[in-house]
């Protein structure tokens, strides 16, 4: 296992091969991590200045959400130039300095790649708007004629993941010709037009983007909407069922994984995407240092997840089933079992994740307050004992909860597109509130200024800051540090996990001489034999209290 030793940090190229298989990777949402220039928005120099926090936490790598040039309608997931940094975040020199400093500290660095769509401000889309239907410029995106009289109805019935139709008329685009007869597809915001990946120019462009960042020394890519690049060629109507939302990309679809497998989804998970990833695999393999890529693919089953990590495709894919599981021992057990059953045949190791910038923070999902925090710690400790790689989301090491952001401060296109409809969606701002580093009032050391950053921080975060928790051995931060230290001691253990059939509401699995027990029930349960090496909360003699996990050895 690749791990950091704070006293003797490995250089990223000296930690052996396939470092990613068991790496702990920390997600930084750049708007909200640290603000060096005091404009209220995080930036690259801010990240560089705070990297010691990650070294001290004991993670192996960081993944940074997009920092490219972008109008920021979806906070960087709407890219207008893939080979430049948005001035909001800094410069290419700042990016180089960040990569260099991360490597000095023994941290690898993964950047976010957004290949499904660009911003409508991208030069290609602007050229497409300025060109005629049928032109080569339009052929890089999905422009189609409308249906119905005068083509005034969208080409098909697809819904945007963020609400409303997935099609907009060129005539209604601020930069479009008011007489233009065509529509364009956007599975997300109308400012995020989808590329047509059947056009080879698109693949060639992205190969250039990969090489641009690989040449700058990044260790890998997190690939956005990896299951979305190709759409069924006919662009036929979707057969929709009651309550079905636009898509499977932000974890907000109300259907369970099992139900989703039954749904008709001509826009997701088409077989052609895998050709792209085989090509990218080859590109990465040309570079030294074991570069990797991880797919953000909201697939509908463990089997379809496994297709992304066949030996000549991705190194990793997010295993969102773990994050979607309810607080239930049998649900957790099913996910663990299905994950290993599906990945074993392709030789991949799993990933585990509980939070990211698109979902409700897990402390809140598990009930909030003391209960939510106890469960969150227990689930995290359980996850970190499983073989494979784990992803942490900024602020979870502080036990942060989802913030109830007031409507006037919300910025998520998911909210902006639905707020005036019958089904408003609150959006994802609540998990993106800037990090509290120190002090007792906003901006809690997030930036040098005074007052609130781009999303207001709650009063009462003073006890949750990094500075406050660093000196408290009982804090969530101290807990994360000790779990990550103890995890290094699991490096020699087998990758084979045996899940005990669930009785009651207790998850038990073994990995070599390690036994992990998670009590999801409401009563204490008797502990199996073994020495408790780590517990997520107080353990009462031979009993494991509710909402608590332990690691036992021997």
3-state secondary structure 271-331: CCHHHHHHHHHHHHHCCCCCCEEEECCCCCCHHHHHHCCCCCCCCEECCHHHHHCCCCHHH
What's the rounded Cα separation, in Å, for the pair 347 and 310? 7
| CB nearer to ligand NOJ: pick between 31 and 53 | 31
What's the rounded Cα separation, in Å, for the pair 116 and 123? 16
| CB nearer to ligand NOJ: pick between 156 and 411 | 411
Residue 224 designated active-site: yes
| CB nearer to ligand NOJ: pick between 225 and 400 | 225
| CB nearer to ligand NOJ: pick between 246 and 388 | 246
CB environment 482-494: b (16+ within 10 A), e (fewer): ebbebbeebeebe
- Find the angle CA(279)-CA(282)-CA(285) to the nearest 5 degrees: 155
Kindly name the residue from 43, 196, 219, 224 that is annotated as catalytic.
224
- Residue 239 CA from chain centroid, whole number: 28
What's the rounded Cα separation, in Å, for the pair 457 and 480? 23
| CB nearer to ligand NOJ: pick between 72 and 469 | 72
What's the rounded Cα separation, in Å, for the pair 399 and 422? 34
| CB nearer to ligand NOJ: pick between 296 and 429 | 296
Cα–Cα distances in angstroms (integers) from residue 257 to residues 153, 249, 441, in the given order: 32, 13, 41
**Bridge-based pairing state of the strands 506-511 and 514-519:** antiparallel
Kindly name the residue from 179, 262, 286, 474 that is annotated as catalytic.
286
Q: Any idea which residue has 């502080």 for tokens?
A: 398
**What minimum distance in Å lies between the beta carbon of 186 and ligand NOJ?**
10
**What minimum distance in Å lies between the beta carbon of 395 and ligand NOJ?**
16
Ranges assigned E (strand) in 55-199: 61-64, 68-69, 81-85, 108-113, 143-145, 167-169, 182-185
User: Of 523, 427, 487, nearest to 24 (Cα)?
Assistant: 487
In degrees rounded to 5, what are phi and psi of residue 292?
-145, 165
Q: Which tokens go with 150?
A: 């005068």
| CB nearer to ligand NOJ: pick between 22 and 357 | 357
Residue 168 designated active-site: no
**What minimum distance in Å lies between the beta carbon of 114 and ligand NOJ?**
6
**What minimum distance in Å lies between the beta carbon of 306 and ligand NOJ?**
21
| CB nearer to ligand NOJ: pick between 249 and 418 | 249
| CB nearer to ligand NOJ: pick between 77 and 268 | 77
DSSP codes joined into one string, 359-415:
S--HHHHTTSHHHHHHHHHHHHHHHTTSSSEEEEETTGGGT-------GGG---HHH
Please, what sign has the CA dihedral across residues 127, 133, 135, 136?
positive
**What minimum distance in Å lies between the beta carbon of 329 and ligand NOJ?**
29
**What minimum distance in Å lies between the beta carbon of 78 and ligand NOJ?**
7
Q: Any idea which residue has 């496994």 for tokens?
A: 306
List residues binding ligand NOJ (CB under 6 A). Answer: 74, 77, 114, 188, 224-225, 249-250, 296, 357-358
**What minimum distance in Å lies between the beta carbon of 162 and ligand NOJ?**
8
Are residues 52 and 89 in contact, defined by beta-carbon separation less than 8 angstroms? Answer: no
Are residues 90 and 200 in contact, defined by beta-carbon separation less than 8 angstroms? Answer: no
**What minimum distance in Å lies between the beta carbon of 74 and ligand NOJ?**
5
| CB nearer to ligand NOJ: pick between 114 and 374 | 114
Q: Which tokens go with 270?
A: 């088409």
Torsion of Cα atoms, 62 then 63 then 69 then 75, to 10°: -120
**What minimum distance in Å lies between the beta carbon of 353 and ligand NOJ?**
12
3-class secondary structure, 553: strand
**What minimum distance in Å lies between the beta carbon of 501 and ligand NOJ?**
35
What's the rounded Cα separation, in Å, for the pair 442 and 46? 17
- Find the angle CA(454)-CA(457)-CA(463) to the nearest 5 degrees: 145
- Which residue of this chain has its Cβ atom nearest to ligand NOJ in the complex? 77
| CB nearer to ligand NOJ: pick between 374 and 433 | 433
**What minimum distance in Å lies between the beta carbon of 409 and ligand NOJ?**
18
Spatial CB neighbours of 285, under 8 Å, sequence gap ≥ 6: none
Instruction: Report the catalytic residues.
Output: 224, 286
């Amino acid at each position: 296992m690749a791990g950091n030793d704070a006293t003797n940090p490995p250089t990223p190229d000296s930690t052996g091969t396939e470092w990613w298989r068991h790496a702990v990777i920390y997600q930084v949402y750049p708007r909200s991590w640290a603000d060096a220039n005091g404009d209220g928005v995080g930036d690259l120099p801010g990240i560089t200045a705070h990297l010691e926090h990650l070294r001290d936490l004991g993670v192996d790598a960081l993944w940074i959400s997009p920092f490219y040039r972008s109008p920021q309608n979806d906070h960087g997931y709407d890219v207008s130039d893939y080979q430049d940094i948005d001035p909001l975040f800094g410069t290419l020199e700042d990016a180089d300095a960040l990569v260099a400093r991360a490597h000095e500290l023994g941290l690898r660095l993964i950047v976010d790649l957004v290949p499904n769509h660009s911003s409508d401000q991208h030069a290609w889309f602007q050229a497409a708007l300025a060109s005629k239907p049928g032109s080569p410029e339009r052929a890089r995106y999905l422009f189609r004629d409308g249906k119905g009289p005068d083509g005034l109805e969208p080409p098909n019935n697809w819904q945007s993941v963020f609400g409303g139709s997935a099609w907009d008329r060129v005539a209604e685009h601020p930069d479009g010709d008011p007489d233009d007869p065509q529509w364009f597809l956007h599975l997300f915001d109308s400012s995020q037009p989808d590329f047509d990946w059947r056009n080879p120019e698109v693949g060639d462009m992205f190969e250039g983007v990969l090489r641009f960042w690989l040449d700058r020394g990044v260790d890998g890519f997190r690939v956005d909407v990896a299951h979305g690049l190709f759409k069924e060629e006919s662009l036929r109507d979707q057969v929709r069922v009651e309550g079905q939302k636009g898509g499977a990309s932000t974890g907000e679809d109300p259907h369970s994984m099992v139900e989703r497998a039954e749904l008709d989804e001509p826009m997701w998970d088409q077989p052609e995407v895998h050709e792209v990833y085989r090509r990218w695999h080859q590109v990465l393999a040309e570079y030294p240092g074991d570069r990797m890529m991880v797919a953000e693919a909201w697939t509908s089953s463990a089997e379809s997840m496994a297709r992304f990590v066949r030996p000549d495709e991705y190194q990793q894919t997010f295993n969102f089933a773990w994050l979607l599981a309810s607080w239930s021992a049998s649900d957790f057990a099913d996910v663990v079992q299905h994950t290993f059953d599906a990945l074993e045949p392709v030789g991949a190791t799993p990933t585990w994740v509980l939070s990211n910038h698109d979902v409700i923070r897990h402390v809140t999902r598990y009930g909030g307050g003391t209960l939510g925090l106890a469960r969150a710690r227990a689930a995290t400790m359980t996850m970190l004992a499983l073989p494979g790689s784990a992803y942490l989301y900024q602020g979870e090491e502080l036990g942060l909860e989802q913030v109830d952001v007031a409507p006037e401060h919300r910025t998520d296109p998911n909210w902006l597109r639905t707020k005036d409809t019958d089904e408003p969606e609150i959006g994802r701002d609540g998990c993106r509130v800037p990090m509290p580093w120190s002090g007792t009032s906003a901006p809690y050391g997030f930036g040098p200024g005074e007052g609130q950053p781009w999303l207001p921080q709650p009063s009462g975060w003073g006890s949750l800051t990094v500075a406050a928790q660093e000196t408290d051995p009982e804090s969530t931060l101290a807990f994360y540090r000790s779990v990550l230290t103890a995890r290094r001691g699991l490096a020699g253990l087998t990758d084979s996990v045996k899940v005990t059939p669930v009785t009651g509401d207790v998850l038990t699995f073994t990995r070599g001489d390690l036994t992990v027990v998670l009590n999801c029930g409401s009563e204490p349960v008797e502990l199996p034999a073994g020495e408790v090496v780590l517990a997520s909360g107080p353990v009462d003699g031979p009993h494991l209290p509710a909402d608590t996990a332990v690691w036992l050895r021997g």
